[in-house]
Amino acid sequence: SWVRDAATDVVANDIVGSHALVVVIDDGTFGYGATLHGLQTARTIATAALDQLGPRDIAAVVFTQDTNASQGFTLDRTRLRAAVARTTQLPASSIPGSRGACPAQLCSVHVLRSVVETLEAIPDVHRTILYISNGLDAPLPEIGPYLVQPGTLLPLGDRNTRADATIEAIRAAQRANITVHAFEPNGLGGDGTQYPEFLRTVAENTGGRAVVNDNDPERVVPAIMREARSYYLVGFTPAAVKADGAFHPITVTVKRPDVDVRARRSYV
């Protein structure tokens, strides 16, 4: 285990391992929806993921508002854990050096999309995002391939703006083949403000898991990290190719009994 935990004494610009992980801690939602239990659980989830990394896996810890607390890609587990420890329960906009007030709470999804675009530039590795968030109040449509296109939602105002931005982030992740696993830290019966359906939509439309209403979500992390190292890539040619920018459904089934199929539900 010391090989995993020891800090490297070499600095390079071309370090690429077998897996690239970004832990996105959505402190932009903590200011109004975090509990003390949720704060500690967020740290526990992130640390559990870092503990599962291999010696050559790279990782980063990113905050949606307190940008000074973030840690870029590194092999150094000590730096990553130190970034996780900087997770705060206070409203992020009150922290010196943070983004300040975020209009319509869009930082939560804008940062998620920026992380997707950064991971897209890293070739030949499996790329995973752990999105630790209380979710957003956004009128997202039904989970699955029937996610409607941006600009067609009926509700007006900030909720509609958040929904459009979220759909664009999901589309970007699908195009880049990046899996997003969403974790809600407050747990079952938490007294914070949380939106589990938002997290389910983000995760299940990118082939990931949504861990919500769970008081011990960190227990799921080892299985998720194992899945990131062991997966099938299934390719096919569509019957008709039309660049319409829409979501098209995918159903993956297997004949083997007693297994769960976790696969992308649609493609753009």
Q: Phi, psi at residue 95, to the nearest 5°?
A: -90, 130
For the entire predicted model, the pTM comes to 0.80
φ/ψ of residue 108, rounded to 5: -60, -40
Range list of β-strands (E), the chain: 19-25, 58-63, 71-74, 126-132, 179-183, 210-211, 248-249, 266-267
- What does the DSSP 8-state code read for residue 202? H
Alpha-carbon distance of 179 to 119, in angstroms, equals 11
Give the integer Cα–Cα distance in Å for 100 and 92. Answer: 7
CA distance 27 to 65: 6
Return the DSSP state at 142.
-
8 confidence band (pLDDT: 50, 70, 90): low
H or E element at residue 85: helix 77-85
Residues with Cβ < 8 Å from 82, sequence gap 6 or more?
A: 71
| pLDDT greater than 70 at residue 232 | yes
Residue 200, pLDDT > 70, answer yes
**pLDDT tens profile 237-248:** 877 777 776 767
For residue range 99-140, what is the model confidence (pLDDT) as tens digits?
555 666 788 888 999 999 999 988 778 889 999 998 888 777
pLDDT in tens, 155-191: 445 677 788 888 889 888 988 889 999 999 888 765 5
Q: Match 């009150």 to its residue by tokens.
A: 94
